[in-house]
Structure 1
Amino acid sequence: MSERWPWLRWVFLLTAAALVVVFLLAQRQAEVDVSYARSPSGKDTVSEGDAGELSGATLPSVAELTDMLDKDKVVRLPGAVAGWDEARVTRAIGDADIRILVAPPGLTDKQQKQLADVKNATIRIIGTDLHGSTYQVVPDRLAEWRATFVTGDVTGLLLTLIAAERDQPGPPEIDPFSWRAPTAAELDPVANDLRAGGLHLAAGATLAKRPQTAAFGGQRPLVAAFPRQPPGQPVPEYGPTLATLFPDQPILVMYGNWIGYYGPHAGEFADVTAAGFYARFGDRLSGYAYPQANVLGTYLDQVTDVRYAGLFDRPLPYRPLDPLRVALPALPWLFGACVLAFLALSARSVLGPRTAPRTPPGRLAGLTTLAIELSGLSHAPALARALVALQAARSALAENLPDRHVARLLTAARRDLDTVARDLGRAEYRPANYLVGELAWRD
């Protein structure tokens, strides 16, 4: 094949090169847009210094705080919100000299550095943010975030930090938080406010108005806001009951800085959104006194971004068929096949043909040589016919007659020579064995 079409191997080589170029161009980096649509959420509303996160609390001096801790192992400053199971914590401390300073949330950077200068404070708690002499502990589960933000209970975190200070194994995980069903007297005012204006504000809540948001596809959520709940007591769970009273409506229930969603598709995105939100902002929310409006606004932005990602209740956009994307996995295999074909044809060109010539002159020469060999062994009529056919083929070539006519004469000569060799019982003189590459002689 390479002798008949010597340019063929270069076609394979150029094809391989073209496949490499196409494949490499397809690997270029491009901007990835994972959104179903452009999310209309706003920017993060939580930014230091202008979001109402500073409480304006005042602190005693470093010397005064040091003296206070010398007298008492636990010093709780006015406005402190963190609480814990005192019996468990006392048992965990044992006879170790661990002193705890509990401060209110929303301190300035200068005030936080002031607390760090209190050297006899083993553990410092600012809001619900816990720091030890070496370590800081933060929640890593939604249950811990919920307990921290709903009630201010830091029992589990505090036990973990005490174990680290005492160089002991961490305690088993505990969940001091529990829900209870709200009573009729608790539920009625909440439901009535939601029916009247879509917003219920309990005494102590800092939320001012019902938010506007694109998080729920044009539906404005119902919102019930409560202050931080007392630690150590079951918390009334309004969400499931409100979802029954207001079906197919998005409902948000806030306890302090904890936000729960109840309503359509809650199982699809609520936990994902909560985990992402508190993992991202939980550290800031623990140590600062952000108003509920700021916290809720940032949470709704997170919900909007997640829902507009097209992963949950929205259908994915139509994506037209891209032939290149479909064929791309096959390009390396096509490249390999073209390279192998080029190498095979190149090897044939270097090593030369391994069969007898396939052109009429070459076939004529081979059969003529065989006829001369057989003429010394036989005078059969078939040999005479073969010699006549070979002579006719030679004349046809000299006169430039069509190749098809020459091929018929050579085929007839080969058939007669084969008959002579079989009659002699000499298999080695049969054209198929005597001439190299028997397949090349078939017509």
Structure 2
Amino acid sequence: MRVLRALVSVVLAGGFFTGMAAPADAQAQPPKLDVARALDALADQRIYRAPGAVAYLDESQVLPAMDDDTRVLVAPYSGPLDEGNNYVDGDAHYEQVGKPLDDWATEQGVHLIFVEGIKVTLYGEPGAGVGPSTIPELRQVTAYLDVSEAVIFAARYAAGISRDEVGDFDYPVVDPVPPTAAQVDDLVARLTADRVYNAPGREDPIDPRMAQLAQEENGIPVRIAAFPLRPPGEPLVDYAPELLKRFPGEVVMVAHGRWLDVAVADQAKADSARDYAYGRYEYASFSQGSPMQDRVGTVLDRLEVLLKGTAYGRPQPQPQPRPQPYDVRRTISDLTPWVLIGAALVLGGAGLYTWRRGHADRADAERRAMRRESAAAMAKIGELGAQLLAVEERGDSVNAAAAERHATAHALYDQALTSAAMIEVAAVADEGIAAGVMS
């Protein structure tokens, strides 16, 4: 489990496939959380499930992990942040949801584990966000909407269990099983007749035009099968490898609920594109409930780069001098003028200027936080980059996972518009450092 030390998480828009709108069913707004009603219910309930909540919670395992001062609120997805929706933007969502929940937890002297969609946040002191850190954990959350492991982790963390021991518990995750020959034959027949197949019961269908656009815009032949959410305990069938044998030279995608398997001839690139999509748009997917179609589009866009170009398409820097011992203070000091200029440009936009007129105090606090977290994030990226460069100059093999975290952190830094976003950028770079830079 990954702990994110931020009460207000950045909300990133989902990846959209060029020229394609989400299906009408996927655009429907989820029920809006009635915060006052939820807090009234939590006064005498340990776990409250709000109308429209989607996450699965194994209370038989969650309740024993909770102490007397911990409550759990399971809420619906927020829906996309936009005009006419439940929340116009991240600030409105914070004012209407995040702040009241955090204030209530502080005033009551309790810890509140808030599950919005399938995103888990711990309010109170200490506050944190908790999310999957391994592929099996991610698959369990997205294929089954099962947040039990993250909630147990948050409850143990709230109870004061040490950092070394807080994750020391076993929660069963479902291992994928191979399909039968009959299952493969049936699905091959459906995907031969139509490159996009939505199984009965699929609540978030993939637009049949996705395969056509993938071929026309990305030059990628693709076949997509989308199955419903898996009920707790039922096996997850791993169709993708067998389908690829029947459709060689193509890209095969199989969705189970919010989980996506991808298979191509170069499987490492398929996994990289899929993992990139989940990492970059985690909050849109987990909290807002962005449609699977967006995830498919992001993966296809990424695969086009990986299969036809280079993973690192930006111009490469000139040879650098050998790295010196890393000095955090010096790095932050050197970067501060540029970080401040970049933050000023971002925070000086017309839309934010309008917002600031009525929220001057909050904007000032956010600017200070943005400066601080931008510098810290870039320092982490620089530290990871220096370690990777040192490995390359020694002629050793670089750990691909660390390189991916470095590239992702760079990309997210360019798009981060809030201090909370910068905290997440630093967390991504930390993951790369923790992974080790040598393969």
The alignment's TM-score, normalised by the length of structure 1, stands at: 0.54
User: In the alignment, does 2:64 pair up with 1:67?
Assistant: no
Q: CA deviation at 1:300?
A: 0.9
Match of 1:130 in 2: 120
1:99 aligned counterpart, secondary structure: strand
* Residue identity (%): 24
Counterparts of 2:116 and 2:56, CA distance in 1? 12
Q: Structure 1 51/251 Cα, relative in aligned 2: closer, same or farther at 3 Å?
A: closer
User: In the alignment, does 2:41 pair up with 1:105?
Assistant: no
Match of 1:165 in 2: 158
Answer whether contact 2:118 2:286 (CA < 8 A) is retained.
yes
Match of 2:298 in 1: 298
Answer whether contact 2:15 2:295 (CA < 8 A) is retained.
no
2:255 aligned counterpart, secondary structure: strand
Answer whether contact 2:262 2:274 (CA < 8 A) is retained.
no
Answer whether contact 1:215 1:304 (CA < 8 A) is retained.
no
Counterparts of 1:167 and 1:306, CA distance in 2? 44
What are the within-5 Å matches in structure 2 for residues 54-93 of structure 1? 55-59=28-32, 61-93=34-66
Counterparts of 1:220 and 1:141, CA distance in 2? 29
Q: Structure 1 159/216 Cα, relative in aligned 2: closer, same or farther at 3 Å?
A: farther
- What is the aligned length? 270
Counterparts of 1:66 and 1:249, CA distance in 2? 51
Q: Structure 1 168/195 Cα, relative in aligned 2: closer, same or farther at 3 Å?
A: same
Q: CA deviation at 1:103?
A: 0.9
Name the larger-Rg structure: 1
Answer whether contact 2:17 2:297 (CA < 8 A) is retained.
no
Counterparts of 1:296 and 1:271, CA distance in 2? 13
Code of the aligned partner of 1:206: P
What are the within-5 Å matches in structure 2 for residues 302-381 of structure 1? 302-310=302-310
- RMSD of Structure 2 on Structure 1 (CA): 3.3
Counterparts of 1:71 and 1:88, CA distance in 2? 20
User: In the alignment, does 2:188 pair up with 1:191?
Assistant: yes
Q: Structure 1 257/58 Cα, relative in aligned 2: closer, same or farther at 3 Å?
A: closer
Match of 1:206 in 2: 205
User: In the alignment, does 2:226 pair up with 1:229?
Assistant: no
Counterparts of 1:157 and 1:278, CA distance in 2? 17
Match of 1:241 in 2: 242
Consecutive unaligned residues of structure 2, counting only runs of 5 or more, are 1-13, 80-85, 106-110, 313-317, 322-439
The alignment's TM-score, normalised by the length of structure 2, stands at: 0.54
Counterparts of 2:28 and 2:283, CA distance in 1? 17
1:50-105 deviation line (CA, Å, top 9, x unaligned) = 96876523346433222222232111123322113322212211x42311111111
Counterparts of 1:196 and 1:247, CA distance in 2? 17
Counterparts of 2:302 and 2:16, CA distance in 1? 11
Q: CA deviation at 1:274?
A: 2.3
Consecutive unaligned residues of structure 1, counting only runs of 5 or more, are 1-42, 313-324, 330-443
